[in-house]
């Protein structure tokens, strides 16, 4: 497997990779007093990336250029812009910088691309301007930007709690190969959580089992459950997603798991055999109307 480094010097700039993630498990513990939901999730980075190129600016302030096959908000609506503004202001640095975001990971897919982009911007700008910021400071900024951003500052595998911002790094070297399915469906995370109906009994049952696997460093056993308590709520917004899952599982590939609030799903290839993964990919082509790609766990 070819490993791509996160930071690469390019002419007068710095190219930073922002990896997607999948949720190997996702439990909802209940609703918090602040209106958010308490979650328990094991997240893993995968080798599917957005790219951020940081260069000296030719115009005053922060210039953000978005390109690539997938849509991204422009200007201050983009978390990359917000991350850059937050970091530069915190250091009292007035700099002219051009940031080019190449968007390969679709928004609303449950793959964490906006959060990953924000984390990559923080790390990349810190490196580009040689700030050497304390990790605690970056983590606080990440928490302000979004619940999943802190995960992408570290990794590649972590147990995340709270709103997702409390990160407990898992040191186990869990290598995996997966077939990733990306339907042409945009799912609103906010709406999925608003529509969620909590089952406290199911949560207690699943939490005990999953936490036991984590304590024993048996992430492989955890993944066999294919647990995501947001699935029912997510599928209620698109019957096509439920149908897609049924079709994939009927082909004998294995359990098909929803990532985050959707719409992306994945099947882990237990053997880790790339030839088997390619065989599975060919098997589903023509049977499902969505993009499929083979991914591995990211090593950083």
pLDDT digits (tens, 9 = 90+) for 205-257: 999 999 999 999 999 999 999 999 999 999 999 989 999 999 999 999 999 99
Confidence of residue 94 (pLDDT cuts 50, 70, 90): confident
Give the residue among 171, 170, 128, 162 at the shortest CA–CA distance from 142: 162
Give the residue among 98, 145, 150, 104 at the shortest CA–CA distance from 125: 98
Contact assessment for residue 22 and residue 59, using Cβ atoms and an 8 Å cutoff: no
> Is 140 considered catalytic here?
no
The DSSP H or E segment spanning 124 is helix 113-128
Domain 7-169 has CATH 3.40.50.9100: no
Residue ranges, CATH 3.30.230.10, the chain: 7-169
Among the listed residues 45, 50, 148, 245, the single catalytic one is 148
Position 173 scores a pLDDT of 84
Confidence of residue 93 (pLDDT cuts 50, 70, 90): confident
pTM of this prediction?
A: 0.96
Position 125 scores a pLDDT of 98
Q: At what angle do helices 113-128 and 135-145 cross, to 10 degrees?
A: 150
Position 289 scores a pLDDT of 87
- The beta strands (E) that lie in the chain are given as 7-10, 13-31, 37-56, 62-67, 97-102, 157-161, 166-169, 177-182, 257-258, 265-268, 291-296
Note the residue count of the chain. Answer: 300
Residue ranges, CATH 3.30.70.890, the chain: 177-296
Q: Which long-range contacts (CB under 8 A, 24 or more apart) does 195-200 make?
A: 195/233, 195/236, 195/237, 196/28, 196/37, 196/229, 196/230, 196/233, 197/232, 197/233, 198/28, 198/30, 198/31, 199/229, 200/30
Position 1 scores a pLDDT of 64
Architecture of the structural domain at 177-296: 2-Layer Sandwich (3.30)
Average pLDDT, the chain: 95
The whole-number average pLDDT for the span 183-199 is 95
- Rounded to whole angstroms, the Cα distance separating 292 from 22 reads 14
Among the listed residues 11, 21, 216, 287, the single catalytic one is 21
Write down the residue that tokens 């005053």 correspond to: 60
Q: Residue 151 pLDDT > 90, yes or no?
A: yes
Half-sphere exposure of 187 (CA within 13 A, CB side): 31
Position 171 scores a pLDDT of 85
> Is 21 considered catalytic here?
yes
Contact assessment for residue 241 and residue 262, using Cβ atoms and an 8 Å cutoff: yes
């Amino acid at each position: 497997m070819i490993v791509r480094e996160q930071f690469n010097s390019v002419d007068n700039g710095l190219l930073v990779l922002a990896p997607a993630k999948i949720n190997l498990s996702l439990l909802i513990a209940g609703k918090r007093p602040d209106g958010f939901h308490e979650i328990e999730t094991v997240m893993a980075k995968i080798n599917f990336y957005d790219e951020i190129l940081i260069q000296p600016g030719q115009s005053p302030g922060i210039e953000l250029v978005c390109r690539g096959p997938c849509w991204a908000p422009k200007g201050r609506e983009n978390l990359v812009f917000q991350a850059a503004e937050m970091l530069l202001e915190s250091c009292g640095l007035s700099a002219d910088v051009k940031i080019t975001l190449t968007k390969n990971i679709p928004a609303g897919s449950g793959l964490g691309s906006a959060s990953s982009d924000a984390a990559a911007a923080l790390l990349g700008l810190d490196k580009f301007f040689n700030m050497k910021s304390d990790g605690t400071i970056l983590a606080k900024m990440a928490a302000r930007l979004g619940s999943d951003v802190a995960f992408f500052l570290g990794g590649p595998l972590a147990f995340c709690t709270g709103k997702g911002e409390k990160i407990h790094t898992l040191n186990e070297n869990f290598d995996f190969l997966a077939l990733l399915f990306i339907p042409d469906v945009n799912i609103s995370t906010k709406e999925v959580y608003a529509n969620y109906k909590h089952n406290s009994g199911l949560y207690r049952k699943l939490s005990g089992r999953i936490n036991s696997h984590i304590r024993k460093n048996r992430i492989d056993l955890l993944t066999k459950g294919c647990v995501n308590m947001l699935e029912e709520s997510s599928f209620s917004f698109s019957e096509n997603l439920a149908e897609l899952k049924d079709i994939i599982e009927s082909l004998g590939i294995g359990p098909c798991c929803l990532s985050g609030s959707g719409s992306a799903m994945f099947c882990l290839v237990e053997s880790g055999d790339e030839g088997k993964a390619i065989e599975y990919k060919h098997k589903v082509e023509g049977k499902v109307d969505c993009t499929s790609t083979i991914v591995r766990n990211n090593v950083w």
